[in-house]
């Protein structure tokens, strides 16, 4: 029997300890594993509307990445590589050798890093309004990396929590953020930063991938390694956080990938169109064979592109 939205509300979050830090995650359904990775200042809640439509066919695993949601917020490594390693360890600890890795925004960058570091554990790759595919990113995130932002963030989060965030909402609208899912998720993210530990983790994460000029970590020079990995790229037409042009360009550089544009949607197409998005993701998984990469295959791809020069 398919899950309903009410069923998902009753699913209790689980907790596991990895390397001394607790990780909170949501797990539902049976079947091939889907590992869903949220964006910066997000949580597994961003995927909740999709779970009823996915859990009937798949095992859905949606963690709060370290520094986010109900997971631990240590003073540690918040690089893409560290996040990818944590996702791999969670997957294995839950008894899954591999998964289709789905990442939104920052989670897209983590998903690509996961596929790069752990090809044997990657069945497929799905990128949703993903970071790591170009330089441009909204001023909201660039501002968070500036010196002194740790002093300003508490004032902004207080405004959201106390209900005086309307002026900030008006400002976000003025710079192009979509009303609806965009505003709701940005507000939820800001509210989560009222916790000093979450705020510290947010700043460390943001500064690991962004500076005042934009995104400073790019996967574009390695996209050819995804040639043997079934890949889906999804974007909102009106995304003002990360331009949809990034997704279109990445699709052209990843032969065999699928690109889907959700017209009228912003940075959170999976929230604005949860049922169509879930159907698209399920169809992508069902119509493709999982990748089976190993070290030899990766070495072959590197050699084909002239990345290896053997003396």
Which residues are marked as active site?
105, 239, 267
Sheet holding 14-18, edge to edge: 14-18, 21-28, 59-63, 33-37, 99-104, 122-128, 231-236, 258-262
3-state secondary structure of 126: strand
3-state secondary structure of 288: coil
DSSP 176: T
Rounded to whole angstroms, the Cα distance separating 59 from 50 reads 13
- Measure the N-to-C terminal CA separation of the chain; round to a whole number of Å: 60
Name, in order, each residue with C-beta under 8 angstroms of 269's C-beta and a sequence gap of 6 or more. Answer: 128, 129, 234, 235, 236, 262, 277
DSSP string, 202-222: HHHHHHHHEETTEE----GGG
Q: What is the largest CA-CA distance in the chain?
A: 65
CB 51 within 8 A of CB 8: yes
Name, in order, each residue with C-beta under 8 angstroms of 72's C-beta and a sequence gap of 6 or more. Answer: 21, 22, 23, 66
Q: Which residue has the tokens 């990360």?
A: 242
């Amino acid at each position: 029997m398919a899950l309903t939205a009410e069923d998902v509300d009753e699913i209790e979050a689980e907790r596991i300890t990895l390397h001394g830090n607790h990780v909170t995650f949501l797990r539902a359904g049976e079947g091939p594993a889907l590992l869903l990775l949220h964006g910066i200042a997000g949580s597994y809640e961003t995927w909740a509307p999709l779970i009823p439509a996915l859990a009937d066919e798949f095992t859905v695993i949606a963690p709060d990445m370290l520094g986010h949601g109900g997971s631990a917020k240590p003073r540690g490594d918040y690089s893409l590589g560290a996040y990818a390693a944590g996702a791999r360890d969670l997957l294995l600890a839950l008894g899954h050798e591999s998964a289709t890795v789905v990442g939104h925004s920052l989670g897209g960058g983590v998903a690509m890093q996961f596929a790069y570091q752990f090809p044997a554990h990657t069945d497929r790759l799905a990128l949703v309004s993903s970071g790591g595919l170009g330089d441009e990113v909204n001023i909201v995130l660039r501002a968070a990396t500036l010196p002194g932002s740790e002093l300003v963030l508490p004032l902004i989060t207080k405004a959201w929590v106390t209900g005086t965030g309307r002026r900030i909402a008006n400002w976000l609208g003025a710079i192009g953020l979509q009303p609806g899912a965009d505003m709701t998720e940005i507000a939820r993210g800001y509210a989560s930063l009222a916790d000093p530990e979450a705020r510290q983790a947010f700043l460390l994460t943001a500064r690991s991938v962004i500076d005042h000029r934009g995104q400073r970590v790019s996967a574009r020079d390695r996209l050819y390694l995804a040639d043997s990995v079934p890949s889906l790229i999804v974007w909102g037409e009106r995304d003002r956080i990360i331009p949809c042009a990034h997704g279109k360009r990445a699709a052209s550089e990843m032969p065999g990938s699928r690109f889907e544009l959700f017209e009228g949607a912003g940075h959170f197409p999976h929230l604005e169109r949860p049922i169509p998005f879930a159907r698209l993701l399920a169809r992508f998984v069902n119509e493709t064979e999982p990748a089976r990469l190993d070290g030899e295959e990766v070495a072959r791809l590197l050699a084909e592109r002239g990345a290896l020069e053997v003396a």
